[in-house]
Amino acid sequence: MAEAVNIESVPARIAAIQANIELLSDYLDPVELEREIERLESEMQDPAFWDDQDKAAKVSAEHSSTQKKLQSFRALESEAGDLDDMAEMAETDAEMATELVEQLTSVEARLEELEEARLFSGEYDSGDAVVSVHAGAGGTDSQDWAEILLRMYLRWAERRGFDVELDEVSEGSEAGISSATFLVKGRSYRVEDLVGDAEDARRYVGGAGCVVYLSPRDYHRVHAPVAGVVRTVRSLPGDYYPVNSIGLRHVKDLFVRNRRVAIAIDTPEASGLGRVTVVMVAAMVVGRITVSGIDERDVPLGTHELARPLEVQKGDELGIFHLGSTAVVLFERGAFDRWGAAEGPARMGSPLAFAATPGANGGAA
């Protein structure tokens, strides 16, 4: 539902946005980010850059991360800079007033995301936290308030994607709680980190995803899970840790630490699936990743808009690992009415999950 147009509140909202942009600029220091990108690019252009592949992968990942941070800020800064002109036109143009409020809401939401990222940028901020709530000596009122605070903290953490484990709760003498302790687990990677684009990642908030370990019979080929059109492919830098139980135990955020290629498939409108993205995650000894529609032995780093969009049918080959690894498949919110699999052993060739699309009886995903 679109936000109601309230022109009177616009000047205050624009002023607040501009103030926050200035604070973020002081923190991010875009000029220094540009210098850092130039330094990293200069290092990457050295003919001997790939002689040390471990170091090269880390430098490439740092370059990608720094560039993404700068681009996100510059785009936000540019949109915020248009708000004053839009506000002036909105005074006499109802359609522009609606567009202005939509842009205000978008800029405010992205500012909030950047501000939260800034708050969690410290050395230990990705770790776990133990949180305790104590009512103290205020009697029933304090115990009631302690329970309210506990619910607020739990809801805040869960809404931001943290895993929460309640360790202990001591009931109050008459109502509420006297104390509680819970563990907030360090937030794992975001979808944006996996697919390499913040705007595209928003499609998948609240959606479904699965990790696909390739069949031993055809362990190096990745096939399209749905029919549609491929227009965009992103090749993202990273390491080559093993994608197995050992790697998952010992390497934090393994899937976004490794090199990966994200292939976006736009499905027909009638399917109700929207965009489905297949992320090919490289691993140890995977030398190259080849993708249909890109005429290179190894997909170059960066975003590739295909000059000729590639039409694919379900089951068509999307890409090849030149040794084999893992894929992650992402679906938009509402794309499926049901997503899951029965517990128990899986036989080779049997479907692992089923999806009921709007207007359909369902089929294997």
208 and 357 together in one domain: yes
165 and 85 together in one domain: no
Residue 263 lies in a domain: yes
Cα 240 to Cα 53, 118, 247, 256, 257, distances in angstroms: 10, 28, 10, 11, 8
Residue 232: other Cβ atoms inside 10 A: 19
Instruction: Evaluate whether 276 touches 355 at the Cβ level (below 8 Å).
Output: no
Where a domain ends, among 140, 156, 185? 185
Q: Pairing mode, if any, of strands 260-266 and 275-281?
A: antiparallel
- DSSP 3-state of 212: strand
- Give me 50's structure tokens: 């790939």
| Environment class of 291 (CB within 10 Å of its CB; exposed 0-12, middle 13-18, buried 19+) | buried
Instruction: Evaluate whether 102 touches 1 at the Cβ level (below 8 Å).
Output: no
CA–CA dist 299, 280 (Å, integer)? 11
Domain containing 59 — which CATH number? 1.20.58.410
CA–CA dist 325, 283 (Å, integer)? 6
Residue 347 lies in a domain: no
CA–CA dist 354, 48 (Å, integer)? 48
Give the residue numbers spanning the domain of 146: 129-185
Where a domain ends, among 185, 215, 230? 185
201 and 317 together in one domain: yes
Residue 45 lies in a domain: yes
179 and 195 together in one domain: no
Instruction: Evaluate whether 172 touches 147 at the Cβ level (below 8 Å).
Output: yes
Where a domain ends, among 90, 119, 148? 119
77 and 17 together in one domain: yes
- DSSP 3-state of 99: helix
pLDDT reported for residue 97: 85
172 and 210 together in one domain: no
Q: Work out how many domains the chain is built from and give that number.
A: 3
201 and 66 together in one domain: no
For residue 209, the cross-strand partners are 330
Residue 2 lies in a domain: no
Handedness of CA 293, 297, 299, 300 (dihedral sign): negative
- DSSP 3-state of 183: strand
Per the confidence metrics, is the pTM higher than 0.95? no
Residue 158 lies in a domain: yes
154 and 252 together in one domain: no
Angle (deg, nearest 10), helices 53-81 and 10-28: 150
CA–CA dist 52, 233 (Å, integer)? 26
Backbone angles phi, psi at 28, to 5 degrees: -75, -35
206 and 268 together in one domain: yes
Residue 16 lies in a domain: yes
Residue 258 lies in a domain: yes
Residue 1 lies in a domain: no
- Give me 193's structure tokens: 């980190």
115 and 155 together in one domain: no
**pLDDT tens across the length of the chain (365 residues):** 445 556 667 888 888 888 888 888 888 888 998 999 889 888 888 888 777 766 776 777 677 667 777 888 888 888 888 888 888 888 888 888 888 888 888 888 878 877 776 776 666 666 778 999 999 888 889 999 999 999 999 988 877 767 788 889 999 888 899 999 998 876 566 788 888 888 888 888 777 778 877 666 666 888 888 899 999 999 988 777 777 766 666 677 778 878 889 999 999 988 888 899 999 988 766 567 889 999 888 888 888 999 899 999 988 989 888 766 788 888 887 775 444 444 555 454 455 555 444 333 333 33
Domain containing 175 — which CATH number? 3.30.70.1660
E strand or H helix at 336: none
176 and 314 together in one domain: no
Please tell me what DSSP assigns to residue 225: S
240 and 304 together in one domain: yes
CA–CA dist 310, 245 (Å, integer)? 35
- Give me 186's structure tokens: 């360090």
Backbone angles phi, psi at 168, to 5 degrees: -155, 150
